[in-house]
Amino acid sequence: MASLTGKSALVTGGSRGIGAAIVQRLAKEGARVAFTYSASSEQANRLVEQIAKDGGEAIGIKADAADQAAVREAVQQAANHFDKIDILVNNAGIIVLGPITDIKEEDFQRILAINVHSVFTATQEAVRHMPDGGRIIHIGSVNSDRMPFAGGSVYALTKGAIFSFTKGLARDLGPRNITVNNIQPGPVDTDANPANGPFAETMLGLMALKRYGKGEEIAGLVTYLAGPEAGYITGAGILIDGGFDA
Ligand code: NDP
């Protein structure tokens, strides 16, 4: 039997990149998976079809993470569809880069809404539908521990908030045996940070392993944290960063 048979999961931002790899892997492990997306309807539909072809079950829900009412409704829709949410993966996130003097107020509000506020909203709503023993997994970043170049202060702020939230939330939910953990990837090859993009050389120069990570590698760690063997891990930040922080 696959390790997550009988479980249902919600992944935010699951149409592309790391989120799509997580959706695929959780479905492969036997979970029924709902995921949100904001723009990439085609990719979302293709992912749902592919998973169905492979014998799994997934549904895509269009919900902009910047719209808190939409996020709350998406969680309720997933909970109604599956009767419960055992696993919540808060993955949706954007990057805003630039010197602090140049960051526009609207860009700051947008990254806070997507990277921080929607994590609060999705989590608050999901725990109302989460049985004891559930799992909450945030996709944070190594950049909450180490931001080795200029221009990343606001992104680091959002990922630092998520790490702190992880610790407080673990205390809130420990009595229900719900674990809460923060995965902290280093550079992972996606549209947001391509391995052949303009930052790649700088990134590789900072790392022990001279390669970008793959979405599948992050998905493997999510699967472990979501599974029965990881029941004693909570409130943790877990680096998966090719030695970026070493
Ligand atoms: P991508 O930009 O490649 O993919 C982002 C995913 O999130 C897409 O499915 C996108 O769907 C969705 N998304 C983006 N904005 C919204 C929104 N407003 N509402 C709903 N969904 C949204 O990003 P990555 O896969 O690289 O990043 C995923 C997470 O991993 C982020 O939290 C990021 O900060 C974190 N991370 C990434 C690293 C990297 O090097 N790639 C390193 C460390 C952390 P759609 O197209 O439909 O909007």
Q: Ligand 1 centroid vs 139 CA: distance in angstroms?
A: 10
Mean pLDDT over residues 137-153, rounded? 97
Residue pLDDT, tens place only, 2-44: 899 999 999 999 999 999 999 999 999 999 999 999 999 999 9
Identify the CATH class of 8-239.
alpha beta
Q: What is the ipTM of this complex?
A: 0.99
Strands 179-185 and 135-139: parallel
Q: Are 183 and 136 in contact (CB under 8 A)?
A: no
Ligand 1, atom 36: closest residue by C-alpha: 141
Q: Ligand 1 centroid vs 81 CA: distance in angstroms?
A: 24
Using most ligand atoms within 8 A of CB, pick from 36, 61, 68, 94 the residue to mutate for ligand 1: 94
Q: Which atom of ligand 1 is nearest to the CA of 190?
A: 3
Give residues (CB < 6 A) around ligand 1: 13-19, 36-40, 64-66, 91-94, 114, 139, 141, 185, 187-188, 190-193
Q: What percent of the chain has pLDDT over 70?
A: 100
Nearest Cα to 166, choosing from 78, 112, 234, 98? 234
pLDDT-based confidence at residue 1 (cuts at 50, 70, 90): low
Single-letter residue type at 216: E
Residue pLDDT, tens place only, 205-238: 999 999 999 999 999 999 999 999 999 999 999 9
Mean pLDDT over residues 194-200, rounded? 93
Domain segments of the chain as ranges: 8-239
Residue 152, judged by CB atoms within 10 A of its CB (0-12, 13-18, 19+), counts as middle
Q: Is 140 helix (H, G, I), strand (E, B) or coil?
A: coil
pLDDT at 122: 99
Q: Are 65 and 37 in contact (CB under 8 A)?
A: no
Tokens 């539908």 appear where?
129
pLDDT at 2: 80
Residue pLDDT, tens place only, 146-191: 999 999 999 999 999 999 999 999 999 999 999 999 999 999 999 9
Q: Ligand 1 centroid vs 234 CA: distance in angstroms?
A: 24
Interatomic CA distance for residues 11 and 89, integer angstroms: 5
Residue 232 neighbours by CB under 8 Å, 6+ apart: none
* Rg of the chain on CA atoms, in Å: 17
Catalytic residue numbers read: 155
Q: Which atom of ligand 1 is nearest to the CA of 155?
A: 34
